[in-house]
A = this chain, B = another copy of it.
């Protein structure tokens, strides 16, 4: 069932709660792919009822980013959800979520602001205010849906850490369930932004997973010096790649690591073919 109205959704949820049913939420910006599908399947398997939110959230895009161009495929999204046991697809308009006043800055709206220590690095360095927008819309969705479980992909690793921190700091009564990255056979991590890539761009995009795989292999062989591990990445990069960052941080609080260990989260972001792509891995995990 497709709902666009907050009150209608809340009424449905209220009924479910009254019936003692558990609710899972899969927050998405739509353009659903097999990565999202893995979250959806996990929610459907875990919870009595599953809500998928399908909302391209304007407040998490920075000026000059791809808000207008971001892929929107609502009909296909709804079909995929229905085929996979989702109970409600919630696809509100920006006005339904933020009101008709177009002034959506922190001058006029309450924001949830995650700690600078978590956001002044990695994607937060170039995407200023991005995680404020993410936390704000996620908390709004949590308050509207009141889910028992919410499912997030490890693909957006910094986002996952920031949301877990928000949930802890604000005592949000939701259990965050992290879900592994889904990859094409080539190794490319699934992303809605892959749709922007040409065939050549897609080929160039393979370096992200190749670099991470190589670093993990070397780490398993005993190399823990971060400079040495970083150095190996450069043999993969060509003139077609514009590296934004390659960082080694703690998987829980994003503090820079002095040397690699099992708790180390390795994150990479780069531009190729005009598209910004990210990927990551945790060294101690398979």
Contacts and interface: CB of A to CB of B under 8 A. Distances in A.
Given A140-B170, A143-B173, A110 B106 contact: no
Contacts of A115: 106-111
How many of these chains are in the complex?
Answer: 2
A112 interface: yes
A90 to B, nearest CB: 12
A139 B170 contact: yes
A68 interface: no
Contacts of A169: 109-110, 140
Interface size class on chain A is 20 to 34
Interface string A130-171: 000001100110011010000000000000000001100111
Given A143-B173, A172-B143, A135 B113 contact: no
A114 interface: yes
A267 to B, nearest CB: 21
A113 B113 contact: yes
Interface of A: 6, 10, 106-117, 135-136, 139-140, 143-144, 146, 165-166, 169-173
28 contacts: A10-B173, A106-B113, A106-B116, A107-B117, A108-B117, A109-B115, A109-B169, A110-B112, A110-B114, A110-B115, A110-B135, A110-B165, A110-B166, A110-B169, A110-B170, A111-B112, A111-B115, A112-B112, A113-B113, A140-B169, A140-B170, A140-B171, A143-B170, A143-B171, A143-B172, A143-B173, A144-B171, A146-B173
